[in-house]
Structure 1
Amino acid sequence: MGHHECNANEIFEGQVHLYKHLHDHAVDGMSIKWMIELGIPDIMHNHDQPITLIELVSILQIPQTKVRGVKSLLRYLAHNGFLQIVRVHHNTEEKEAYALSAASQLLVKGTDLSLAPMVELLIKPNAAHVWSHLKKWTYEDGVTLFDVSLGSNMWEFLSKKPKFNESFNEAMACDSQMMNVALRGCNWVFEGMESIVDVGGGTGTTAKAVCDAFTNVKCTVFDQPHVVEKLSGTNNLTYVGGDMFKSIPKADVVLLKLILHDWNDKDCKKILENCKEAISGKGKRGKVILIETVINEDQDEHELTGLKLAMDVRMTCFLNGKERSEEEWKKMFVEAGFQNYKISPLTGYLSLIQIYP
């Protein structure tokens, strides 16, 4: 066995580690999707107090032979932090009941902060088909996992599949709602600004939040023509179609929210140069604001780094993009001709980066 003889315990630990990841992979996303499809977060939310297994299966009208299976799924979800198991007193006896956790609270449908659309987008039956081409992708020069598995890049795929595109836009919009919670605490970032352009701003979720918070700021949502063509603005919100690689509308602030991680360094440099052009002549006011992940393994908790590294794999494989460390961001800012930058925490996994010309 090479230089290091494993003792039996190490061998068994290795097996547990391997099996955990093999089983998790199949069960994790699907059990979350199952919970949403059955409407369990909504039932629990409306129930106002922890709910027992008996109450839950009776509301869901589950056949007796499947009660044990439902309990098995709920117990797994609880172990993973998607439910809380609490003890309740029922008449004279003590019973086990389930309550929502912070994570499953975000799966209640129809609330402002519901992330259910993100689950719909990421947990798709055909996702396994896409990932199964990873070996082929490794040897195909320059092409993405989307090209290898579906024969077109992700943006083409979205423009050709209206249903999938809708699901994508809904997921991005619900992710933006989370961002808006964070931006409310960031008034200082937008102080004294007269105009903002949100590049790749999609259907305008973030821009609307900015407009609500700063009624005297003119907001422009800039995205591909097919994204914005059917959208109508308000008195301080306009939608403009175009191509960020050609030019970006002029403004005091250019906002790029989770855009640059979709692109390689060369493309990002081009986008940032166009941003710099868009804020030129704005004096002290002009700046570019990025909302992005910063990989920081020395400081982040193990689980948070795990999320960032998983996102990096997804961005790299799907889009030839990447998640970046502070050193990588800094190098890019300098190459695009910026003098200075400042990174502040924003949400659990995102940072706010201000770049100055």
Structure 2
Amino acid sequence: MSIHNEDQSSKLFQSQTHILNQTFGFINSMCLKCAIDLCIPDVIHKYGKPMPLSQLIASLPIHPSKTCFISRLMQILVQSGFFSQHNVTDYNQEVSYVLTDASILLLKDHPFRMTCLLQVILDPVMFNPWFQFSTWFTNDDPTPFYTQNEMTLWDYASREPKFNHLFNDAMTNDTRLISSVVIEKCKGVFEGLESLVDVGGGTGTLAKAIANSFPHLNCIVFDLPHVVHDLQGTDNIKYVGGDMFETIPSADSIMFKTVMHNWNDEECLKILKRCKEAIENKDKGKVIIIDTVIGNVKGDSESEQTKLYYDMEMMVLVTGKQRNEKDWAKLFFSAGFNHYKITQVLGFKSLIEVYP
């Protein structure tokens, strides 16, 4: 194939670069995981000021033969926005590094740290099914995860305590920021309610925050028996094990935090019908859903990309999907609910109130 002009060759090279950048995208994830494993964000944070490369190298638990590679690792972490680089000047002959807003969320003692979520997403158990993605399209398995493991993600978690603990820790850390914002900016959502069931509530991080802010509200954390086993309740929090597809404990309100996206439309419709049955007071009762709504944040391409990444993650790991507003509305009305309200206050996630 001949190249006839400079414009054609430029487009070819641009296309080649685009393909390679997409192909090498996993390198950003693996370099970030390596930085966390080596505690680089915490080491720089503890130093308290821009940290020279030599000081960083001396503080890391690495073999002496690997010291020359740290500058190259830091170079790509700077490029991807996780550290800021202070360049060499006449007065300072060595490059130094400081944290960015993103790497602050990777500190071990940060209340909203994201390290557990990153570790579980990049765990081989979650990552290996991607190698079955194309194979899955040629068979009748429910998910690539099933193709890889011959069981669902939920069955795997119930049989592997170590992975179950890692997964629950990730969900807990992901919930801390959401619960803080929900309590601060969405208090009206819970006003007038006397009872709430947090379905798929894990160890109860969100329910505890709500119960502390609304002591009159009786909360039930409802999840699979192996998740809530041996968890201790309080005066206004109770842990109940069960299957949301069979029955949901009765209450004024039923809450789902990033649960619906784990299930396909048929499964979600069944869950929502169980919710309608469980709502005791149809006048003030409602379903509260914290989940993504594709396309509802105009001009925010990074948030929309995150939602699409999550959509692919749901396809590979479970039977779920991310939904746009029309998808959500169809589910709500098909389940017999009358109207809904979407509030955009949780980053790329939304708070949806659904009324019977």
TM range (shorter): over 0.9
1:29 Cα deviation after fit: 1.3
> Counterpart amino acid of 1:20?
N
Match of 2:121 in 1: 122
Q: State the alpha-carbon separation in 1 of the partners of residues 229 and 159 from structure 2.
A: 16
Match of 1:239 in 2: 239
Give the count of matched residue pairs.
Answer: 352
Q: State the alpha-carbon separation in 2 of the partners of residues 235 and 82 from structure 1.
A: 43
> RMSD of the alignment, in Å?
2.1
Contact 2:38/2:61 (8 A) holds in 1:
no
1:210 aligns with 2:181: no
Q: State the alpha-carbon separation in 1 of the partners of residues 156 and 186 from structure 2.
A: 35
1:310 Cα deviation after fit: 1.2
1:102-156 Cα deviation digits (max 9, x unpaired): 1111111133211111121111245553211112100212521111111111111
> Counterpart amino acid of 2:22?
H
Greater alpha carbon shift after TM alignment, 289-298 vs 143-152: 289-298
Q: State the alpha-carbon separation in 2 of the partners of residues 156 and 64 from structure 1.
A: 43
Q: State the alpha-carbon separation in 2 of the partners of residues 211 and 95 from structure 1.
A: 51
Equivalence map 1:125-204=2 (5 Å): 125=124, 127-184=126-183, 185-204=185-204
Taking a change above 3 Å as real, the CA distance of residues 322 and 78 of structure 1, as seen in their structure-2 partners, is same
1:86 Cα deviation after fit: 2.9
Q: State the alpha-carbon separation in 1 of the partners of residues 76 and 92 from structure 2.
A: 25
1:28-52 Cα deviation digits (max 9, x unpaired): 1111111111111111222222211
1:89 Cα deviation after fit: 7.7
SS in 2 for 1:114: coil
> Counterpart amino acid of 1:48?
G
> Counterpart amino acid of 1:10?
K
Taking a change above 3 Å as real, the CA distance of residues 216 and 43 of structure 1, as seen in their structure-2 partners, is same
1:38-81 Cα deviation digits (max 9, x unpaired): 11111122222221111111112655653331111111111111
Equivalence map 1:5-16=2 (5 Å): 7-16=8-17
Q: State the alpha-carbon separation in 2 of the partners of residues 213 and 164 from structure 1.
A: 32
Taking a change above 3 Å as real, the CA distance of residues 239 and 88 of structure 1, as seen in their structure-2 partners, is farther
Taking a change above 3 Å as real, the CA distance of residues 334 and 244 of structure 1, as seen in their structure-2 partners, is same
Equivalence map 1:189-338=2 (5 Å): 189-280=189-280, 282-296=281-295, 299-338=298-337
Q: State the alpha-carbon separation in 1 of the partners of residues 212 and 332 from structure 2.
A: 30
Taking a change above 3 Å as real, the CA distance of residues 128 and 222 of structure 1, as seen in their structure-2 partners, is closer
SS in 2 for 1:346: strand
Q: State the alpha-carbon separation in 2 of the partners of residues 126 and 252 from structure 1.
A: 38
Greater alpha carbon shift after TM alignment, 181-190 vs 260-269: 181-190
Match of 1:349 in 2: 348
Match of 1:103 in 2: 102
1:12 Cα deviation after fit: 0.3
Taking a change above 3 Å as real, the CA distance of residues 276 and 19 of structure 1, as seen in their structure-2 partners, is same
1:259-283 Cα deviation digits (max 9, x unpaired): 1111111110110111111114x14
- TM (normalized to structure 1)? 0.93
- TM (normalized to structure 2)? 0.93
SS in 1 for 2:246: coil
SS in 1 for 2:346: coil
SS in 1 for 2:25: helix
1:96 Cα deviation after fit: 2.9
1:14 Cα deviation after fit: 0.5
> Counterpart amino acid of 1:105?
I
SS in 1 for 2:33: helix
SS in 2 for 1:320: coil
Taking a change above 3 Å as real, the CA distance of residues 58 and 15 of structure 1, as seen in their structure-2 partners, is same
Q: State the alpha-carbon separation in 2 of the partners of residues 144 and 289 from structure 1.
A: 28
> Counterpart amino acid of 1:229?
H
Contact 2:121/2:127 (8 A) holds in 1:
no
Gaps of 5+ in 1: none
> Counterpart amino acid of 1:294?
V
Contact 2:297/2:304 (8 A) holds in 1:
no
Taking a change above 3 Å as real, the CA distance of residues 105 and 141 of structure 1, as seen in their structure-2 partners, is same
1:319-350 Cα deviation digits (max 9, x unpaired): 11100000100011000001100000132110
> Counterpart amino acid of 1:273?
K
Match of 1:49 in 2: 49
Greater alpha carbon shift after TM alignment, 63-72 vs 158-167: 63-72
Match of 1:69 in 2: 69
Q: State the alpha-carbon separation in 1 of the partners of residues 275 and 79 from structure 2.
A: 45
Q: State the alpha-carbon separation in 2 of the partners of residues 118 and 61 from structure 1.
A: 23
Residue identity over aligned pairs, in percent, reads 39
Gaps of 5+ in 2: none
Q: State the alpha-carbon separation in 1 of the partners of residues 291 and 125 from structure 2.
A: 28
1:299 Cα deviation after fit: 1.4
SS in 1 for 2:28: helix
Equivalence map 1:23-42=2 (5 Å): 23-25=24-26, 27-42=27-42
